[in-house]
Amino acid sequence: MSFVEDSLSANASHHMFKAVVSHAYAYGFIYPSSAIYEGLQATYDYGPYGTALKRNVQEFWWKSMTQLQENIVGIDAAIMMHPTTWKASGHLDGFTDPMVDNKDSQKRYRVDWLIEAHAAQLVSQGQPTQAKKLLEAMGNYLALGDLAGIDALMQEFAIVCPLAKTANWTAVRQFNLMFATQVGAQEDATTLYLRPETAQGIFVNFLNVQKSARMQIPFGIAQIGKAFRNEIVARQFIFRMREFEQMEMQFFVPPGTEQTWFDYWQARRKVWYNVLGISDDKLRFHPHQQLAHYATAAVDIEYAFPFGSKEVEGIHSRTDFDLRNHAHYARKKIEYFDPELNKSYIPYVIETSVGLDRLILMLLSNAFTQEKETTDGCKARTYLKFPPPLAPIKAAVLPLVKKDGLETKALKLWNHLKCDFAVGYEATQSIGRRYTRQDLIGTPYCITVDYQTLEDDTVTIRARDSREQHRMDAAAVADFLHNKTSIKSLLLQL
Ligand code: ATP
């Protein structure tokens, strides 16, 4: 399965992660994009169960951010925006990564990653002072945009290509991560960019939303949508993609109150992860040491992936940078009149920005469970322990056998449930095999229709995690599933 190999960086070939990636592919969660043409690097397609999982996560985020908040509304802005948007946001000039090619291996690297890996090596060789010197020098050169300085640093520290083991490098150059595209007929075509973040669609609509939905500060605007980045090095499966999905919320506050709201949103987001079943020992709130010039505070929410603790979400205090710049470039006044303070101002912004694909990888990693055979006769198995409301299929209706009227009875139950729940139906193969198949895609409950059902209209409910079964009236199944598997049951815990 070469795509599995391709998805892993050399230092991330952790056995468990490899198993998660293979599982996602084999059981209909995620495929490499255009796989019949050997795939397209850093792009992936979601299969039937991956798509359902993604929609459930989206629904939980969307409802927790908008429906549950009297002062947050949602929008859906276009992916293509006026090109000046990216001048104002700073992406045209500054959304770059430094890269370098090794002429022998023909491999391309992000210079900062190469240097960080070398510093880690120095630490492991007992040279922490050298490592610190290297990282500090890199930080200074990058801040100054001094790429020749980075070239010299690579030479000074004799940094070599991990593959070719040579220092035969091209000059370091900046690479803009935005995808450009031409719109219109050739002679008068305009260059547009696919949005590298969804946030700017919110900023350019600030006044539209504030006025048309009559919002009063503090208020927020939420959005879910695709973003595109021409990442130099694609890594770790769906962790770093060129086309991915973001769920962002910009919260507009009076200047001077940003720290309070920054703390507030950190606390709120932590609870959200806990409700998703992520325990505190797997979560890390990592404050940024180096802030963007316009930011007053920033924190990464990291999850302990099998390949290390890595960012899934950023919470940023962005001041009035974006709105002020759009006002400048659009030559429009973008201000809010605050009736309580009796004055106008450009609001400050606290942003929560999470990658949906990274959440999916987090949930898959967290749910992937391998159990050994137990002494009381339970067979070894692999299953996905999703929180039931997120599971792609909530329950599978299974007639014990296809004959004697059991199938008719089971189909009747399935028809009764299917408008309210994502329920599966399977009638072929042994019941044990069918349980196994549902375990592999993380279905929390299996409902079996057997001979006793014909007599008293009860069914068995088998729980995925404990493998225990109990009998229940068929008429009570819908209520049972609603209590256990609805998104509402998660929302109530927030
Ligand atoms: P990184 O440092 O990992 O490149 P970032 O700090 O550039 O991420 P942001 O610009 O803050 O990321 O974007 C917000 C969120 O969008 C990230 O926390 C992440 O979940 C997601 N994201 C960013 N880039 C990618 C990508 N290439 N593939 C998948 N998700 C991404």
CATH number of the domain enclosing 478:
3.40.50.800
Q: Tell whether 246 is covered by a domain.
A: yes
Sequential DSSP letters for 241-296: -SEEEEEEEEEEE-TT-HHHHHHHHHHHHHHHHHHTT--GGGEEEEE-SSPPTT-S
Number of domains in the chain: 3
What DSSP string describes 356-415?
Answer: HHHHHHHHHHHHEEEEPPPTTSPPPEEEE---GGG-SSSEEEEESSSSTTHHHHHHHHHH
This prediction has a pTM of: 0.92
Q: Counting atoms of ligand 1 from 1, which one is nearest the CA of 316?
A: 11
Model pLDDT, residue 260: 97
Would you state the pLDDT for residue 312? Answer: 98
Q: Ligand 1 center to residue 355 CA distance, Å?
A: 6
**From 110, 195, 311, mutation site for ligand 1 pocket: most ligand atoms within 8 A of C-beta:** 311
199 lines ligand 1 (CB under 6 A): no
Structure tokens at 396: 């599978």
| Ligand 1 near 312 CB (within 6 A) | yes
Out of 317, 333, 365, a domain closes at 365
CA 289/CA 295 separation, integer angstroms: 12
Q: What is the model's pLDDT at position 369?
A: 95
241 CA closest ligand 1 atom index:
28
Nearest CA to ligand 1 atom 25: 240
pLDDT at 377: 78
The domain that holds 286 is classified in CATH as 3.30.930.10
Amino acid 484: pLDDT: 97
Ligand 1 centre distance from Cα of residue 197 (Å): 9
Domain membership of residue 1 (yes or no) is no
Predicted confidence at residue 291, as pLDDT, reads 81
Atom 9 of ligand 1, nearest CA residue:
314
The single-letter DSSP state of residue 206 is H
> Quick check: CB of 258 below 6 Å from ligand 1?
no
> What integer pLDDT is reported at residue 12 of this predicted model?
43
Does the C-beta of 313 come closer than 6 Å to ligand 1? Answer: yes
Per-10-residue mean pLDDT of the chain, 494 residues long, equals 44 76 97 93 96 98 97 97 96 91 92 92 93 92 90 94 94 93 86 96 98 97 97 86 97 97 98 97 91 88 95 97 98 96 97 98 96 84 97 98 93 97 96 96 98 96 96 97 97 96
Q: Which residue range(s) make up the domain with 151?
A: 99-176
Numbers of helices and strands, H then E, in the chain: 18, 23
| pLDDT of amino acid 69 | 96
CA 448 → CA 49, 303, 445, 459, distances in Å?
22, 37, 10, 6
Q: What's the CATH number where 105 sits?
A: 3.30.40.230
Ligand 1 within 6 A of 231 CB? yes
According to the model, what pLDDT value does residue 298 have?
96
Last residue of a domain, one of 176, 206, 231: 176
- For residues 494 and 481, give the distance between their C-alpha atoms in angstroms, rounded to a whole number: 20
Binding site membership of 241 for ligand 1 (Cβ less than 6 Å)? yes
Q: Which atom of ligand 1 is nearest to the CA of 301?
A: 18
